[in-house]
Amino acid sequence: MNQAEKKRLMRASMGEITPDLVLKYADIIDVFTEKIYTADIAIKDGYIVGIGSYRGACEVDMSGKIVAPGFIDAHVHLESSMVSPSIFAGKVLPCGTTTVIADPHEIANVAGADGIRYIIEDSRHCGLNVFFMLPSCVPLSESDHSGGVVGLDEMKQLRDESCVAGLGEVMSYEALLAGNDGLLDKIELMKGKTIDGHSPGLTAKKLQAYRLAGVETDHECVDYASALERLRAGFFVQVREGSAARNLNAILSGALRDEISLDRFVFCTDDLHLADVSKQGHINHNIQMAIQLGMDPIKAIKMATLNPARVYGLKDVGAVAPGCRADLVVLDQLEDVSIFDVYKSGVSINGTDFCAPWTRPDEKLTHSVHIPELPADSLNLRVNSKFPVIEIIPGQITTRRVDLELPSEDGLFTPRDGLLKIAVVQRHDGSGRIGLGVVKGFGLKNGAIASTVAHDAHNLIVVGDNDRDMFAAIEELKACGGGYTVVRDGKAVRTLPLPIAGLFTDDRSIDMICELSDMSIAAHAMGVPEELDVFQNLSFMSLPVIPELRITDSGLFDVLENKWISQP
């Protein structure tokens, strides 16, 4: 807002210029005092210019309606929706989400700074306020073979974009604690902006050093004890409720029991499929869950509005107050967060198409799967003693390491008894590098499932109980440019192409919710447990900063021991 615009809005505040819109007699949620009071909301040029008694060019009677600030998702990877930002916006706006803090490290791991620029550009007119955290760990480590690099030079070029709110989650926490100059330089470069964290399992003195380094938030708390330790160290805790990681109940039930202050809690989704948005909502669902646990509704709404706005230094969102954008959620009922309407920049979204024309990606983004013809024995896994197995924990993205005697023939692992083969194939430069392992808990029988969504390097990950179907799944994703596939008897049962970086699509003709539902049905029909989000869980099997055991194209990695596991 420039000075001339500010003067114009000030005149509207004082009644010298007629506001464009006045919402009359609204019951306003005041997140500053945590009270509700009744007044008119005057709006001009997309901003709130006054609260009180006003007349407007257009007036809407809000008698009996409760008006809250637009909701904020404090940490989300837009790519995990598997659609472009402009499509994503159309799905979450009806849920009351008007602002998101996005970390584009998924696309950055495939296409570097070019990928970040694409997603920023596509977000500019999508209908949401989208603020970005520049990815801090691309690649995640020297042994993580991704397709892009975001170093200090790339960050310097992007830092001063108006939509950049800070540094993305510092996932390489062991490197930071070892005094990695590159990470410390990035934190220094982003000084004055927010520094996001990611430190599952980090505790005691290491956690203290992590905070001292400048990290301010964390979304990896899985229970109240880990959240409380971070609060005491001065972190903001991002309470996550996503598709694969659901931590809200565990964290907030403890906070409510101990009656601690909620001012340093915010809500986030991190990774959330559109199918889950369709079934349960977005940040409005997090608010509902908190209220059901016994939280005061206004405090829950404050966690979704003013708290994240303060964390990320967003001066014009998060409250119903003069100078804030007119991003408003109109509620029928407070206790169940039943949404009557949503206003974005003073315009009702009912009947409004916020999905502006989208930015077309270049060829680097749409041709990102480069895998050579693989030898017939490339999936052979030789075992001759107890072997470290990745065990899935339902409802979490963490895993357990269990060392087991594996079924084998001629010294080669033979999947059975609930044990499946898992492989990660490097897909960015055609090296054909493959890491092999064993996973327990997928339940898959007579087939294979594969994805090019594989955090964070986003190589191709495939799990199956026979090599023929695993090879067929690899070939299917090569042919379609990336995505998800379910294979049985050597043929694809179901495939969802995600041609932009192998992560998402901008094809508006695709009903992503139906496609994801059909993919899940196909996977569950082949034995995957109903309570498991197979594609989300599969995508995290390759993230070597989440305890306990992971697999990448370099092999198995023990996160707790911070070391690679040698294989026969």
- Determine the Cα–Cα distance for residues 475 and 479; give it in Å rounded to an integer: 6
Q: CATH 2.30.40.10: which residues of the chain? A: 3-64
Task: Provide the pLDDT confidence category of residue 568 given band limits of 50, 70 and 90.
Answer: very low
Does 538 have pLDDT greater than 80? yes
Residue 373: how many other CB atoms lie within 10 Å: 8
CATH code of the region 3-64: 2.30.40.10
Provide the β-strand partners of residue 550: 557
Tens-digit pLDDT profile for residues 175-188: 999 999 999 999 99
Tens-digit pLDDT profile for residues 335-348: 999 999 999 999 99
**What is the mean pLDDT of the segment spanning 157-168?**
97
- Determine the Cα–Cα distance for residues 478 and 461; give it in Å rounded to an integer: 12
Task: Provide the pLDDT confidence category of residue 140 given band limits of 50, 70 and 90.
Answer: confident
The DSSP annotation for 291-352 comes to HHTT--HHHHHHHTTHHHHHHTT-TTSSSSSTTSB--EEEEEETTTTEEEEEEETTEE-TT-
Quote the pLDDT of residue 243: 79
Q: What percent of the chain is predicted at pLDDT more than 90?
A: 86
Quote the pLDDT of residue 567: 56
Q: What percent of the chain is predicted at pLDDT more than 70?
A: 98
Q: CATH 3.20.20.140: which residues of the chain? A: 68-344
CATH code of the region 68-344: 3.20.20.140
Quote the pLDDT of residue 427: 97
- Report how far apart, in Å, the C-alpha atoms of 423 and of each of 132, 224, 467 are: 32, 34, 10
Provide the β-strand partners of residue 5: none
67 compared with 534, residue with greater pLDDT: 67
Task: Provide the pLDDT confidence category of residue 273 given band limits of 50, 70 and 90.
Answer: confident
- Which segments of 187-264 are extended strands (E)? 194-197, 217-218, 236-240
For residue 23, give the amino acid letter. Answer: L
For residue 379, give the amino acid letter. Answer: L
Quote the pLDDT of residue 394: 83
Quote the pLDDT of residue 362: 85
Q: Residue 321's Cα: distance from chain center in Å?
A: 29
- Determine the Cα–Cα distance for residues 544 and 564; give it in Å rounded to an integer: 10
Q: Which two tokens stand for residue 436?
A: 């092999």
127 compared with 256, residue with greater pLDDT: 256
> Could you give phi then psi for residue 437, rounded to 5 degrees?
-160, -170
Does 125 have pLDDT greater than 90? no
Tens-digit pLDDT profile for residues 422-480: 999 999 999 999 999 999 999 999 999 999 999 999 999 999 999 999 999 999 999 99
**What is the mean pLDDT of the segment spanning 521-530?**
95
Task: Provide the pLDDT confidence category of residue 357 given band limits of 50, 70 and 90.
Answer: low
Quote the pLDDT of residue 400: 96
Please state, rounded to an integer, the average pLDDT across all residues of the chain.
95
Task: Provide the pLDDT confidence category of residue 251 given band limits of 50, 70 and 90.
Answer: very high
Provide the β-strand partners of residue 10: none
DSSP state, residue 220: -
- Determine the Cα–Cα distance for residues 244 and 114; give it in Å rounded to an integer: 28
- Report how far apart, in Å, the C-alpha atoms of 128 and of each of 93, 353, 453 are: 7, 12, 24
- Determine the Cα–Cα distance for residues 157 and 162; give it in Å rounded to an integer: 12
Tens-digit pLDDT profile for residues 73-103: 999 999 999 999 989 999 999 999 999 999 9
HSE-CB of 152 using CA atoms within 13 angstroms: 9
Provide the β-strand partners of residue 100: 73, 130
Report which of 463, 423, 425, 422 is spatially closest to residue 444, judged by C-alpha positions: 463
